[in-house]
Structure 1
């Protein structure tokens, strides 16, 4: 018995680029209730690379249309500046001064705590006031 091939020569293994990957995560931020008497936990979906500053940068980007419709507010100024990480400490953008209101302080602290970080210049909040 004789075996033959179809005449195609063998080639080495051809590799392509890495398969595309998309990382979609739920991140937690904290906003002020419509009544102004506490915080509410909000979950936002984020697609892309995530680090300890991502949730803080979402908070600093301002409210979504849905959050505005719900009457939620923030006591932090919206900014296009980005927070950066130095070890496990979040350093806020230069144009964002430390919060000077109770709920603004809690928003920053609780959002950082949800990211397992601390914020430079913001003392930890005692009493477990993060919802």
Structure 2
């Protein structure tokens, strides 16, 4: 969150979204159980959301900032990393509808999760 004209010490590769007045951040998130192989399997619980993992806003006139995440706990996505990193071996994502995708991406598809929750075809 940027509240003045100074450059932040840590920035993402995307410029901050400029906001006038108060800010309410209300976004959808899905639980993500991620199993990575590093000699042995390690399991982490993450949140899958839209866009960049780090949100950046510039709200110079904000008096109030509210964060209202909408966590869709019934729509869990799981991922398992391959034991060997070789061509053609990708992270395997299992979505709440039972579909399995291994397309070379490192994060689950937010659009697919939204479509499953909303009862649409991804």
TM-score range, shorter chain: under 0.3
* TM-score between both structures, scaled by the size of structure 1: 0.26
Q: Looking at secondary structure, tell me which structure has more helix per residue.
A: 1
Q: Looking at secondary structure, tell me which structure has more strand per residue.
A: 2
User: RCO (CA 8 Å, sep 6+): is it higher in 1 or 2?
Assistant: 2
